Structure 1
Amino acid sequence: MTHFAKRYHPAFIIVELVSTVKGLFGFYILLFLLKANSTAGWVIWGRYALLAATAVSVLSIFAKWLFNRYELSNKTILFREGMFVKKQKTVSWDRIHSHRSNTTFIHRWFGLTSLTMETGTSGENAQFEFPVITQREKVRILSYLEQKQNRDESKDGIKPERTVHFQATRKDLIKASFTSLSFLAIFPLLSAIYFNLADFFSIEESAESAGHYLLDHVWILIVLFLAAMILSIFIGFVKTYMEVWKLCH
């Protein structure tokens, strides 16, 4: 059977351009709007550097679409990348443990999607992505994976049982939520909310100093602290559960 290398859908260019614009948008606001009348040297050179970076990024996007290709066979997926320095990556269907799709609003405009194959390993070869493909192409790619799985299941005429190496208990998930320290991220947000409320209710006018106010209303801090702890632990538990569930499925 003959297999042909394919480029990604031309909308790949638009998806990458939007991503580039999002990344550089803040710099354009700073250098061309907020510093529009500035004659400082760093502003002028910053504008030239920003325009040069934008031009290089745009050319790089077109080069990626033109030279990056993939090829499907019954045993492997071959990715070809690079314009001057050629690079090839090969992943066998045996190594693929799971897959997921991500459809952004730009994908939806064109009726497209993206597909990521996950190998269950870490590092550079942890996942392989088809960033912009049609729904039909997605079905075609997954059909190769399904055929491989069906061949494995039919070797002995029975479906192989899945081996469970580890099953997390609720105690393990709670422990992981604490050890990840992710629940601490809510306290800077809580602090910002508190001081914004302080400004809104004019706390300075009702007490001689912020210190006196905190001492007089320490129960508010205790309630907020406990509420923040409960909320952050719950969020950490859900996040950890989802990560463990993804690894185990």
Structure 2
Amino acid sequence: MTKTKRHHPLLMLIHLWTLAKRFIFFVVYLFVIKADSESSFIIYGRIIIFAAFGIMVITIIWTWFTHKYKLDHKSFHLYKGIFIKSEQTIPFSKIQNVHRHTSYFHRVFKVTSIHFETGMTGEETTVKFEVISHIEADRLEAHIKSTDGDALTTDDVKDTKHANLNRNIHFEPTKMDILKASFTSLSFLILIPLVGSFYSKINGIFHMEKEAKGVFMNIISSEWMVTIIIMVLVIASVTFGIVRTFLAYGKYQISSDHDRIYITKGVIEETSFSISKEKVQAIEIKQSIMKRLLGLAEVKLTSAGSFSSDEETLEINSLYPFLPVKRAYDMVSEILPSYEVKQKMIRLPRKSLWVRLIKPSWIWFIATAILFYFRPSILKVEQAWWILSAVLFILIAVLRLLEFMNTRFILNNQFIQFKTGGMTTSLFISKRDKIIEVKVTRNIIQQMIGLASIGTIHRAKPVHHAGVDDVPLELATSFYHWYMGRKNEIKLE
């Protein structure tokens, strides 16, 4: 068992910075904008702000002194409490994912943060170290992987680092991959609203609209000036999109060893994530329209652990959002050899299409009712409302046709695999022993023509639901009996 330790002292600095950001508005208002005010409200407000800030500073320092941790051969032990002491024990066996994030602040002080995510429910199910040295983070991560229960030495940690260098690297994006990603994500379009937002803020302060009106009229009256401005905006937008994508995915790497999958990304702010292969509940391969046109796909992992932090929700359950389709399929088999992905699957019967087409669309009913009530005139066409209603009706029918054409399914020994979606498709693969619940439902129309809907539930945060509608009744029955066979595969902890 290791000795009890306090968290890194820089944790107080981070909390003080967060506290300062929360108080900045009140400080500016009370001490800058209302600096000359002698109102009782302002005077007492300043006193309250001083008192509250002082109390919070003392609380931050006191909290650092009272919050401690230690490790034994099988658990984290967390101690906290100022007036009421508490101890929390989290077994290593419950840890699903390990997430590291190195922000610019961390890089300046040569530290990092590390979160150990668990699959347990309730509050405080994550062991968080918001500031920690790289050596201590390596030691903690190596400790939870050790099986002998002995305290790790510096040499043990170095051996673990050496083993990390021998991981199998499955993917690192090339320059062409980054270029494709920048266009697929449409990140170059973000510059336009950013410029608009910046201008509106500047205009609100300096009232530039009147002064800029004359300049604007002179510019639009010159064709060559308009052409140059458009070209500059296009080049700037594309450059911005490429740079933004490079900063996010420039140092992306997917690797694995015998037990875990590792994902690292980020140029300025670095994020690394690892998940135990045994904890992967399901795999999802998604394609948007743009990705289908460019032959790209995104592979996502469903895990019982959380994929978020206090500051942001992180898409680190995605292996890489812009993988070539063939590489995506091959990578699943490389990283998770226990999973099988079948290229050929069973299509829905034709009667499923008619069920989908005759199903009432509430969107169309509501939209048509609104159009009928207001009867808008478009391009001087007074009866345009029913044309819009007809277009919407056709669009909904086309989307349902696409969903029917894309939907496929297959039961493959201990695996279930199905593909759904219209404009965006999703291929879902899972193992029988990873599914915690299944359901088979039938509405009146499905009962009349021998169809059913099947669904699965997986342990995740939030709970993950997946399924296929309008499958043959025979498949639904086989699906239910297939799931009952899991009792021979479940391993109790």
Say which one has the larger Rg. 2
Bigger drift between 41-50 and 54-63 goes to: 41-50
What is the aligned partner in structure 1 of residue 228 from structure 2? 220
Aligned equivalents of 1:67, 1:206: Cα separation in 2 = 58
**Cα distance 1:40–1:228, how it changes in 2: closer, same or farther (>3 A)?**
farther
For 2:219, the aligned partner's letter is Y
What is the aligned partner in structure 1 of residue 238 from structure 2? 230
Displacement of 1:55: 2.6
Aligned equivalents of 1:5, 1:213: Cα separation in 2 = 69
The equivalences for 1:126-165 within 5 A come to: 128-131=128-131, 139-140=135-136, 142-146=138-142, 149=145
**Cα distance 1:114–1:170, how it changes in 2: closer, same or farther (>3 A)?**
closer
Displacement of 1:219: 1.4
The equivalences for 1:105-116 within 5 A come to: 108=109, 113-116=111-114
CA RMSD in angstroms comes to: 4.8
1:82 aligns with 2:81: yes
What is the aligned partner in structure 2 of residue 199 from structure 1? none
For 1:142, the aligned partner's letter is D
What is the aligned partner in structure 1 of residue 92 from structure 2? 92
**Cα distance 1:178–1:34, how it changes in 2: closer, same or farther (>3 A)?**
same
From the two aligned structures, give the one with the greater strand fraction: 2
The equivalences for 1:7-156 within 5 A come to: 7-10=6-9, 12-40=11-39, 43-44=42-43, 46-83=45-82, 84=84, 86=86, 88=88, 90=90, 92=92, 95=96, 97=98, 99=100, 104=105, 108=109, 113-117=111-115, 119=117, 128-131=128-131, 139-140=135-136, 142-146=138-142, 149=145
Q: Is the 8 A contact 1:103 1:114 kept in 2?
A: no
**Cα distance 1:87–1:172, how it changes in 2: closer, same or farther (>3 A)?**
farther
**Cα distance 1:21–1:81, how it changes in 2: closer, same or farther (>3 A)?**
same
**Cα distance 1:129–1:243, how it changes in 2: closer, same or farther (>3 A)?**
farther
Q: Is the 8 A contact 2:6 2:65 kept in 1?
A: yes
Aligned equivalents of 2:167, 2:111: Cα separation in 1 = 32
Q: Is the 8 A contact 1:103 1:113 kept in 2?
A: no
**Cα distance 1:48–1:176, how it changes in 2: closer, same or farther (>3 A)?**
farther
Higher relative contact order structure (alpha carbons within 8 Å, sequence separation ≥ 6): 1
Displacement of 1:174: 5.6
State the secondary structure of the residue aligned to 2:29.
helix
State the secondary structure of the residue aligned to 1:79.
strand
The equivalent position to 1:211 in structure 2, one of 207, 214, 217, is: 217
Aligned equivalents of 1:230, 1:145: Cα separation in 2 = 40
Displacement of 1:6: 1.9
Please, what TM-score do these two structures have when normalized by structure 2? Answer: 0.36
Aligned equivalents of 2:103, 2:211: Cα separation in 1 = 51
What is the aligned partner in structure 1 of residue 263 from structure 2? 248
For 2:46, the aligned partner's letter is R
State the secondary structure of the residue aligned to 2:90.
strand
Q: How many residues are paired up? A: 227
The equivalences for 1:178-217 within 5 A come to: 178=183, 180=185, 182-191=187-196, 192=198, 208=214, 210-216=216-222, 217=225
Q: Is the 8 A contact 2:2 2:71 kept in 1?
A: yes
**Cα distance 1:120–1:167, how it changes in 2: closer, same or farther (>3 A)?**
farther
Q: Deviations over 1:155-208 (max 9, x none)?
A: xxx9997596x8878887666545655433322454558x99xxxxx9x99995
What is the aligned partner in structure 1 of residue 259 from structure 2? none
Q: Is the 8 A contact 1:80 1:89 kept in 2?
A: no
Displacement of 1:230: 1.1
State the secondary structure of the residue aligned to 2:3.
coil
**Cα distance 1:31–1:225, how it changes in 2: closer, same or farther (>3 A)?**
same
**Cα distance 1:188–1:163, how it changes in 2: closer, same or farther (>3 A)?**
closer
Give unpaired runs (5+ residues) of structure 1.
Answer: 153-157, 197-201
Displacement of 1:68: 1.0
